Amino acid sequence: MQVKSGAQCEVKEQGQLATISVETEHYVYWARQPVPVFLALVPSTGTADCPDCIYIVDFSEYVVCGVFNALTPEDVPKTVTLKSSHVIRVGHLEDIGVLVAQLVPRGHALLQSRYGVIGATPAPYGGYIYTTPFFPVSRVRTVILDQIRRTSVLSLIFLL
């Protein structure tokens, strides 16, 4: 959990969203972490709708969707703007419960995609329902199809 506070945190959309610009070096460092990284944005001033809110950025989404994937080294910007995906209202324990029970396990499952695994979201209890996080399969579609073709050809060769 990275905490960012002050004027660098901009509150938008009547307190429903906050953004922050971070240097590319920080982005790359967080992307290398083996665990999900969350940014807690604490603005210096709140809004009338949400005076004491903490805004959470799920950095796992940025790692999986790959802000820099299609860029050449010359095109990489010096800063990246990140948007919050969750709001924690101070004094509301259910908001923290959502963070711990839903967002953190989802972040773990998303990060598994870096290793080619689209796994189920971990759950604190057993059950019959398994969920998987959204994953942009279209980004790696050709790699998946090439691997399927390669595997099928090798299976036929070794069968003969």
Q: Which tens digits make up the pLDDT trace of 96-126?
A: 888 887 888 888 888 887 777 776 766 666 6
The per-residue pLDDT for 13 is: 72
User: Could you give the CA distance from residue 157 to residue 151 in angstroms, rounded to a whole number?
Assistant: 10
Does the pTM surpass 0.85? The reply is no
93 token code pair: 């324990």
Adjacent-strand bridge partners of 6: 43
pLDDT tens, position by position, 33-50? 888 889 898 887 766 666
CA atoms within 13 A on the CB side of 37: 18
Closest CA to 31 of 133, 117, 114, 140: 114
Among the residue ranges 27-31, 63-67, 91-95, 149-153, the one predicted with the least confidence is 63-67
* Contact (CB, 8 A) for 52 and 43: no
Contact 37, 44 (CB under 8 A): no
DSSP character string of 36-88: --EEEEEESS--SS-TTEEEEEEHHHHHHHTTTTT--GGG--SEEEEE--EEE
Model confidence over 76-88: pLDDT tens digits?
778 888 888 888 8
How many Å apart are CA 129 and CA 51, to the nearest integer? 38
